[in-house]
Structure 1
């Protein structure tokens, strides 16, 4: 007689990811795929048997997700839901093409949440592909599985007589979180984050762009800092004013500092928050458990143009230590996740050489990200080569194609400034020249020549981007926001064929955007024709008939009242 399946609720982090997946069921943005390039002979039979044992020993790998009575639930299958596939491909390029295509396939969460293959190129070159849905793993969990697979393989090939250690069940963590969520400490933690959610600043408009409803399409752009620059950074972080509790914590604080500075310069905002994970593995057993433990919370910082990178580092370090006091299991929520559009994912997990053979890992990108995350920065040195790797996952709607390769280089300017002289004020660190920024952000046909000087004599973007420029009621724009708005509008007008010698009608009430519209029209090379909002529609239609503007900029309300000329 068969036993009825046993279902369990999701952890809070699982619930947030499951909800995100349900909103876009066919998108692979929660696929986590690694490809290991192993140089040397691999016993394929032993590898396959080790993988079967691995899946059987890990409840996370055998977990599937279903909807029960309207709510998501998870259950652990008694047997492995899928075998290790074995393939043979002609060369490394064919393997990588196959793996990139494979990692973009969505999972059927009710059937199996992993996909794995051992690929032979020659007797002396093999690849291991492992793709998991984020619901059952995080980066540390991948490293746990890698080590567990290696242990089992070494025993089966008689390289080791040690019996592999059993993997602790993820169900233990799920029960741990459930108990914590019923404690008085959790109530205090939840109150803290609910209060934070109400006061956090809106996400910045990166490079002046913030689509209302971004789609998940994204691309990854990587930057290898190289052994020399990485070593210089680690040496610098040993200095007394930068040294933190651990080298990893010092590196995290550095990249958080640089990301805040990057957002301030490209988003023209002082008050900022980023999303960053806590690992939720406080015990040795949890450190050896595969599964999804991490949760993302907002880290907030104030970035002022007169501050130096060194001063910002101190501020971020203090903010992060306070952040850690409240980042507790099960406390993340959707409101907190909506408060940031940039994520820093610092990963200190690593992969040892497989069975002593030269091994290189590659984290594959599925071409999709959570659409709320416009920029994700991943930092790691998976292979412990001494060279820090940066991956920038960039939303395709926020970052035009021509701009994407430039983003890592802009970030690198800040890193090099930190290495060279961290006492320099932020305002003095040039990130990019504004003309280049506009061309990359809003690619348009070549515009007609325009004066280099601003009609309104705006200060330079780099120096004054965060200073107030306009105020209307309780709303305010900085010079950076005014510059971004006007340049975007000018680019849009040029794309429509509007330029020198033409007229653009402007039919708006007094509002914060009005000066930006006038400035944007001027920047396009056209002349603006004011159409006062207090004039009768008939008179305005006559003016439009006489002037025949190339374009009309009007609010929906006023445009609807105009009579056809």
Structure 2
């Protein structure tokens, strides 16, 4: 289908983050928002189908698809029309749950359409409308607006009257508005969010846990809160100390306070960064616009040792005041959301009935969540706005099964402490019993008597699911999230090529994304890497290879026919699909990490083996000396065969900083240092 250039646009800031996570794991449904609407009354399926077809015509978010252009830049395209006939099936009530669960895992191909939907008849007078929209084009309010519009459209078809529900501002207009706001960087609000991106944020260790594995599998657990406690919380709203602009804002602030106190207690951290959706629909003209209008922005909260609930509430209220004062469409950037590992989401929406037919709405949890999020607090009940329910979305990679079981009950103790005595000290609330402490609390690395190993030091680099930039080369960037994915792919490729623990792999590449990815992949696999600069004389390279007899040579050169040579390009990694092989990643902490060859100025070049334990000791001390708790950003401009280059390769990554890559010149001497000076790195 031909589309005009006016129908093609770039992604908003929040869409870019979601696209990046989906690109890294295309099979994941962590960005799906499946909803069901149980309609308790007779409806005409054919009329419902016609109303849904017109709903698609009236809402451009349902006609939007995504493609990458010839420059590999993703674009969203609003199709003039989308051919979709809403399926209708009859299904017994006993099979409904299994059917919905299976449907949730039906892939959504964003190049074809952004949603999946079906109408089901369970029994006489009971229908289920299933609607699942990818988060890149929807938020909670989108479902409410579409539900209400479909009800009006259905009613208009039944009564044969004009339907006026298609007069809302389009998502395309919102995107244009967002882009204008995003490009205006010279405002106090833009500076506010830019400064947020510069605040160092530690990786949270909840209950003393390190991340057990890299996965997005998660579960939603309801937090049991009694009617009594809910009543006591309601009483807080009327007191002078807690009263805010409106009751919902007060509730949001109270729950953010309790959640921050809880996270501080189970992590042992005082400086916290919570993420929370900013509602861009507070701009009146976009009130009924469907699409992704929310942006997740950071709330930075300091929980001190002597903090009471009441004093913490004051801090949270001030932070939220700045949050709403400075929030605007386009505020979310990869930098501003860096370090968000916990989220608080308060959704006071009420969906109501389908026209005059009683209806109940349910938001289903897809079973996966953003790999970088540890835990999310959710407050919503789309069928009873005055009596919300509360949930934790829990990433299973960060908790043991027993901890997941007890999390809501520990949180309940924090709630009760708040309503009982809000001037009590947060640090004195006993969340975990003595028995639970022995069973549940894991010992962190910092509590071990032994020195940290290289694998422990580098592990966060392989697991950090952050959108913060890790590698930069010119105007191109790889985030930690992207780096993690590419390393996992190359590890599998190397394993398929027969590279095993302690094997020697020579890397003969220019300074590039590919070089760093290869080095990290070799180390993760437990093999030994040998950097071989591209500007070495051919005779010397042949001598090194003859001395090493490597298992594999990673190179673009065709001059090493007697060796096993492979060129692993960035484009190849991006298109490679993981086969999820089982690879043993437990290694000897004293193995050889890399081999550097001397210059050979006094005779034949000699290879010097460096163990990963020695590397870990050096990097630990370098981090103390240069980082001091801050991110380190360094240029990578020296020869890969130079020993001090190791510092610029690893120190930025283990501190959460970035490596700025300056590749060798194609012709003439390597004068990359001049580019470094020019760019003041």
Deviation per CA, 1:154-193: give whole Å up to 9, x if none.
222229776435232101111111222333555x433332
Q: Distance in 1 between matches of 2:451 and 2:166?
A: 71
Matched with 2:477 is none
Matched with 1:347 is 347
Does the 8 Å CA contact 1:42/1:123 hold for their aligned counterparts?
A: no
1:231-380 residue pairs with structure 2 within 5 A? 231-380=231-380
2:370 aligned counterpart, secondary structure = coil
Does the 8 Å CA contact 1:399/1:441 hold for their aligned counterparts?
A: no
Matched with 1:151 is 152
Matched with 1:216 is 216
Matched with 1:88 is 90
Unaligned segments of structure 2, at least 5 residues: 457-586, 592-610, 616-681
Q: Distance in 2 between matches of 1:510 and 1:124?
A: 64
Q: Distance in 2 between matches of 1:553 and 1:70?
A: 40
Does the 8 Å CA contact 1:207/1:266 hold for their aligned counterparts?
A: yes
Deviates more, 1:59-68 or 1:411-420: 411-420
Matched with 1:41 is 42
Q: 1:73 aligns with which of 68, 72, 75?
A: 75
Deviation per CA, 1:488-529: give whole Å up to 9, x if none.
x7xxxxxxxxxxxxxxxx764999x9xxxxxxxxxxxxxxxx
1:382 aligned counterpart, secondary structure = coil
Does the 8 Å CA contact 1:226/1:388 hold for their aligned counterparts?
A: no
Does the 8 Å CA contact 2:116/2:131 hold for their aligned counterparts?
A: yes
Does the 8 Å CA contact 2:374/2:394 hold for their aligned counterparts?
A: yes
Q: Distance in 2 between matches of 1:87 and 1:117?
A: 8
Distance change in 2, residues 1:386/1:164 (3 Å): same
2:49 aligned counterpart, secondary structure = helix
Deviation at 1:441, TM superposition (A): 5.8
1:32 aligned counterpart, secondary structure = strand
1:509-524 residue pairs with structure 2 within 5 A? none
Matched with 1:12 is 13
Aligned residues: 463
Matched with 1:56 is 57
Q: Higher relative contact order at CA 8 Å, sep ≥6: structure 1 or structure 2?
A: 1
Distance change in 2, residues 1:157/1:180 (3 Å): same
Q: Distance in 2 between matches of 1:437 and 1:212?
A: 19
Distance change in 2, residues 1:60/1:269 (3 Å): same
Deviation at 1:344, TM superposition (A): 0.9
Distance change in 2, residues 1:166/1:509 (3 Å): closer
Does the 8 Å CA contact 2:66/2:77 hold for their aligned counterparts?
A: yes
Matched with 1:403 is 403
Deviation at 1:228, TM superposition (A): 4.9
Does the 8 Å CA contact 1:14/1:292 hold for their aligned counterparts?
A: yes
Matched with 2:419 is 419
Does the 8 Å CA contact 1:227/1:388 hold for their aligned counterparts?
A: no
Deviation per CA, 1:313-339: give whole Å up to 9, x if none.
111001110122222221222233331
- TM-score, scaled to structure 1: 0.76
Q: Distance in 2 between matches of 1:321 and 1:56?
A: 39
Q: Distance in 2 between matches of 1:2 and 1:182?
A: 30
Distance change in 2, residues 1:400/1:212 (3 Å): closer
Distance change in 2, residues 1:337/1:55 (3 Å): same
Unaligned segments of structure 1, at least 5 residues: 443-482, 490-505, 514-551
Matched with 2:99 is 98
2:204 aligned counterpart, secondary structure = coil
Deviation at 1:283, TM superposition (A): 2.7
- TM-score, scaled to structure 2: 0.64
2:297 aligned counterpart, secondary structure = strand
2:401 aligned counterpart, secondary structure = coil
Does the 8 Å CA contact 1:507/1:553 hold for their aligned counterparts?
A: no
Deviation at 1:14, TM superposition (A): 0.9
Matched with 2:121 is 120
Deviation at 1:433, TM superposition (A): 2.0
Deviation at 1:438, TM superposition (A): 4.9
Matched with 2:543 is none
Distance change in 2, residues 1:234/1:43 (3 Å): farther
Distance change in 2, residues 1:331/1:558 (3 Å): closer
Deviates more, 1:286-295 or 1:172-181: 172-181
Deviation per CA, 1:5-29: give whole Å up to 9, x if none.
6411111111111111111111111
2:159 aligned counterpart, secondary structure = coil
User: Are residues 1:189 and 2:193 paired?
Assistant: no
Q: Distance in 2 between matches of 1:35 and 1:15?
A: 27
Deviation at 1:349, TM superposition (A): 2.2
Distance change in 2, residues 1:438/1:374 (3 Å): farther
The CA RMSD over aligned residues, in Å, is: 2.8
1:397 aligned counterpart, secondary structure = helix
Deviation at 1:194, TM superposition (A): 2.6
1:160-179 residue pairs with structure 2 within 5 A? 163-179=164-180
